[in-house]
Amino acid sequence: MKTETEIRPARSRVVWLLFIIAGITALLVAFFLDYRVAAWISANSSPEVKQAMRIISRVGDWPAHAIIGVIGIATAFLLKNKDWLRIFLAMLVALALAGLAARVIKIGTGRARPSVKTEAPWNGPQLSSKYHAFPSGHTASSTAFFVALFLARKKIGGPLLLIPALIACSRMILGAHYLSDITMAAILGIFCGLLATRWTLPVPSSIGGH
């Protein structure tokens, strides 16, 4: 019979394989629906909704997440709570990883934002933010941040996953990203959250529910 030490890596490989398959499938579907979703949003978004989404988008950028993480680390340090110190550290590591990865990808791909009128949607390496649609940095960073929390403390982190979902919606409603941009960002965020917790947290904390 296989030991627990032998079974765990096998399970891990299966989980990663399923994640990759699900991610590729979701991304392909999102690319197929990109222009339909963008057209529907454009036709159904009121000025009031756009103003609310503009506020969410501003507040939901990476600096606000970083501030929360730093405050969390400082509080956990003062309270001498090593578990939460590691959790907030994992959240910040995930945030940084996702933000950096998203920046590199978006500069390299040069995808025009939905609000930009151009005949070439993909333009290769670009420094202008007008061509930084793929993927959404807001969505990737927020997803990574809260996925790291979810993996460590499921009861607390589960409901808070609605935050990156709302931020992702705000980016599409504002014409900054297509559906595939936020889908790729979510996949990237989940991946970075998984990596950060694997590197930062003890095994029981990263896979157990609390």
pLDDT in tens, 69-93: 999 999 999 999 999 999 999 999 9
Domain ranges of the chain: 4-207
Query: Would you state the pLDDT for residue 120?
Result: 85
Q: Which two tokens stand for residue 189?
A: 């965020």
pLDDT in tens, 127-183: 999 999 999 999 999 999 999 999 999 999 999 999 999 999 999 999 999 999 999
HSE, CB side, 13 Å, CA atoms: give it for residue 197: 24
Give the confidence band of 8 by pLDDT, cuts at 50, 70, 90.
low
Cβ distance 164 to 148 under 8 Å? Answer: no
CATH topology (fold) of 4-207: Vanadium-containing Chloroperoxidase; domain 1 (1.20.144)
Instruction: Judge whether residue 203 has pLDDT over 90.
Output: no
Query: Would you state the pLDDT for residue 208?
Result: 39
**Alpha-carbon distance 45 to 48, whole Å?**
8
Summarize the confidence of residues 2-11 as an average pLDDT: 58
Torsion angle defined by CA atoms of residues 78, 79, 80 and 83, in that order, rounded to the nearest 10 degrees: -120
